[in-house]
């Protein structure tokens, strides 16, 4: 895993070493092991490398010549069908100098051109420069696990793995306009695909590629989930799910550096740990290393809720004893969580999921001394319908994104001047309807399947994207790689078309997945009600973030006052967040997390100092 930057201009000489160095240095945390550069008259490329596979053969930028044409790549990701693609390319006369997936992508592009992306199974973002054509090709993986942002300034296409790198290019400014505010406070911490929050900053959407040539920038979608009839029986469907899952997990266990699994004792992480342990045993790799996160005094302060009915400890020990993993629990304290809010914001480049972000950032930081790569159960709830809003009528009939229904409260956060110009509900409705228009409903779909296709589409394309952003940024800020086997596009294609009555077998969230695992995992794990990523229940956390926000609000120069409703924020503080009557986002961002989010907003405004055009 890595980070990369670049800029291209086909009309003039832009080979500025200073610019490319400055941009690349902003990504040092993504790639702490090596850096590299490539220059031509019309293109500059920079790369920061986190070494995971083939230390010597995977150096970047990587250049190769074919029929006197020079191709150069910068790349971030991991391709899981590298062996198959290399074999196919070798059969077509290509020779390889390494076993890196970087070389396979580069020579695959030389052979298949733009169709290469249709053959890749993995997580990726890359840019390839065709020296003869004077053409740049950019691409991003099916679900957007790996990031790729861009802007165009005076005929120059500027691109990078993170927004902070774009802002290091002379003339690229952080500017907030009406859409920026609507994204931040109407959609946030989610983002509309393709939107980089700041004015004129965009991203290559998931499952898209872009071609930059003399006629400009051209974007094209190469993949989508297609609705098709499902004819498999329950048992066949269950067997196919198991096969696809095991295949995805096994492909992602390849690494030249230490690898582990995040284990919470929930169904999803337990599935990953089971198949990973089996793989380690079959390949005589020793016992699998697993890690979990907890918080000081969480056992003492835990409160059972509909969303979090039990704590993880018992279930982790159950799986640890079954699989004989080498397990460690990383315990975080309240001050750490609050102090890391700023780093979490910088990692994302935007206000995010508050301590839900900072805890993962600290978790990865503490695991990094033991491993560089981990597999997690992320995305299972999106693929297999694990969230409460798949089942709750109030959520299904909300006519908005069901994880973000506090629309009037969000509007009330804006100060009067801005609120009079920006109607968050109208913006949210527009994005909601725009997204639903992309869903294919089949004539043979039952009413329930049709309804659940829609909410599945929203969950996959909005909520899951937010969590994938979180995973990438918090991990890569520590030079650490998170892999997500449930996000395999072949698995997603298959499960997308399973009828709702089968997917939610026995009326349970992830009912089919539970059925598929009933003879593989302990019954207590299979039947365990979904429990989200653990958060701190320590009351000192609320006190800490409340104190932080109070200090901000007592500062007359705090930039948050230029955008938000001071009176409402003070009310939120006085009521410990209860004045904001519903969760800010998802299941976890309640009072303390909203207060922490507002702290992040002020930190962000101070750090990025955006120009405001409203």
Contacts 24+ apart (CB under 8 A), 430-434: 431/187, 431/192, 432/399, 432/400, 432/401, 432/458
Residue 544 three-state SS? helix
DSSP 190: S
Please state whether beta strands 208-213 and 135-140 pair in parallel, antiparallel, or not at all (unpaired). Answer: antiparallel
* Torsional sign, CA 526, 529, 530, 535: negative
Contacts 24+ apart (CB under 8 A), 56-59: 56/98, 57/97, 57/98, 57/99, 57/100, 57/103, 58/98, 58/100, 58/101, 58/102, 58/103, 59/34
Other beta carbons within 10 Å of 472: 26
Question: Does residue 297 come out as left (phi exceeding 0), alpha (psi in the -120 to 50 range) or beta?
Answer: left
* Torsional sign, CA 342, 387, 192, 28: positive
CA 511 to chain centre: 25
Other beta carbons within 10 Å of 411: 17
Contacts of 490 (CB under 8 A, 6+ apart): 121, 244, 248
CA 515 to chain centre: 28
222 CB-side CA count, 13 A: 25
Residue 374, strand partner residues: 260, 482
Residue 374 phi/psi, 5-degree rounding, is -135, 155
Closest CA relative to residue 411, chosen from 397, 428, 394, 399:
428
What secondary structure, in 3-state letters, does 455-487 show? Answer: HHHHHHHHHHHHHHHHHHHHHHCCCCEEECHHH
Contacts of 516 (CB under 8 A, 6+ apart): 238, 239, 241, 242, 245
Radius of gyration of the chain from Cα atoms?
24
CA 579 to chain centre: 30
Contacts of 255 (CB under 8 A, 6+ apart): 52, 53, 372, 373
DSSP 291-324: EEEEETTHHHH----SS--S-SHHHHHHHHHHHT
Instruction: Give catalytic residue positions.
Output: 2
DSSP H helices, 173-257, are: 178-182, 234-251
End-to-end CA distance of the chain: 38
Contacts of 66 (CB under 8 A, 6+ apart): 110
Closest CA relative to residue 151, chosen from 97, 89, 196, 95:
196
């Amino acid at each position: 895993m890595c980070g990369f930057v670049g800029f291209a201009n086909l009309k003039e000489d832009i080979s500025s070493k200073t610019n490319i160095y400055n941009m690349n240095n902003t990504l040092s945390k993504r790639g702490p092991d090596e850096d590299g550069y490539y220059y031509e008259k019309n293109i500059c490329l920079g790369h920061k490398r986190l070494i995971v596979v083939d230390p010597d053969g995977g150096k970047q930028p990587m250049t190769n010549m074919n029929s006197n044409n020079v191709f150069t790549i910068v790349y971030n990701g991991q391709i899981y069908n590298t062996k198959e693609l290399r074999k196919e390319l070798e059969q077509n006369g290509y020779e390889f100098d390494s076993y890196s997936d970087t070389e396979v992508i580069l020579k695959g592009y030389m052979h298949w051109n733009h169709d290469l992306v249709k053959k890749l199974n993995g997580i990726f973002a890359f840019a390839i420069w065709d020296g003869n054509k004077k053409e740049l090709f950019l691409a991003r993986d099916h679900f957007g696990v790996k990031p790729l942002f861009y802007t165009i300034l005076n005929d120059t296409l500027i691109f990078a793995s993170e927004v902070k790198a774009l802002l290091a290019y002379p003339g690229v400014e952080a500017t907030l306009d009406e859409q920026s505010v609507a994204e931040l406070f109407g959609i946030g911490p989610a983002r509309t695909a393709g939107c980089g929050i700041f004015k004129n900053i965009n991203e290559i959407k998931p499952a898209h590629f872009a071609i930059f040539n003399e006629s400009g920038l051209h974007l094209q979608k190469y993949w989508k989930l297609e609705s098709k009839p499902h004819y498999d029986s329950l048992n066949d469907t269950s067997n196919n799910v198991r096969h696809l899952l095991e295949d995805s997990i096994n492909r992602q266990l390849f690494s030249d550096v230490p690898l582990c699994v995040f284990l919470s004792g929930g169904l999803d992480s337990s599935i990953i740990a089971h198949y990973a342990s089996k793989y380690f045993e079959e390949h005589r790799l020793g016992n699998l290393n697993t890690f979990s996160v907890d918080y000081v005094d969480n056992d003492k302060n835990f409160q059972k809720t509909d969303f979090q009915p039990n704590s993880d400890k018992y279930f982790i020990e159950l799986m640890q004893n079954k699989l004989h993993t080498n397990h460690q629990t990383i315990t975080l304290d309240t001050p750490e969580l609050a102090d890391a809010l700023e780093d979490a914001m910088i990692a994302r480049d935007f206000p995010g999921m508050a301590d839900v972000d900072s805890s993962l950032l600290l978790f990865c930081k503490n695991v990094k001394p033991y491993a560089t790569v981990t597999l997690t159960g992320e995305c299972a709830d999106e693929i297999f319908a694990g969230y409460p809003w798949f089942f709750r009528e109030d959520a299904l009939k909300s006519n908005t994104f069901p994880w973000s229904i506090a629309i009037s409260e969000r509007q009330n956060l804006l100060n009067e001047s801005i609120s009079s110009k920006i109607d968050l509900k109208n913006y949210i409705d527009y994005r909601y309807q725009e997204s639903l228009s992309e869903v294919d409903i089949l004539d043979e779909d039952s009413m329930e399947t049709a309804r659940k296709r829609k909410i599945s589409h929203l969950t996959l394309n909005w909520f899951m994207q937010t969590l994938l952003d979180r995973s990438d940024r918090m991990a890569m800020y520590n030079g650490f790689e998170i892999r997500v086997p449930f996000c395999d596009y072949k698995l997603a294609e298959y499960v997308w078309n399973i009828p709702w009555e089968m997917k939610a077998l026995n009326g349970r969230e992830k009912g089919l997945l539970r059925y598929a695992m009933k003879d593989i995992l302990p019954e207590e794990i299979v039947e365990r009600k979904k429990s989200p990523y653990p958060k701190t229940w320590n009351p000192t956390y609320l006190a800490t973030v409340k104190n932080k926000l109070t200090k901000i609000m007592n500062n007359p120069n705090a930039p948050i006052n230029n955008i938000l409703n001071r009176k409402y924020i003070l009310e939120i503080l006085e009521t410990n967040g209860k004045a904001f009557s519903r969760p800010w986002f998802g299941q976890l961002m309640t009072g303390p997390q909203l207060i922490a989010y507002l702290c992040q907003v002020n930190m962000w405004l101070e750090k990025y100092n955006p120009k405001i055009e409203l």
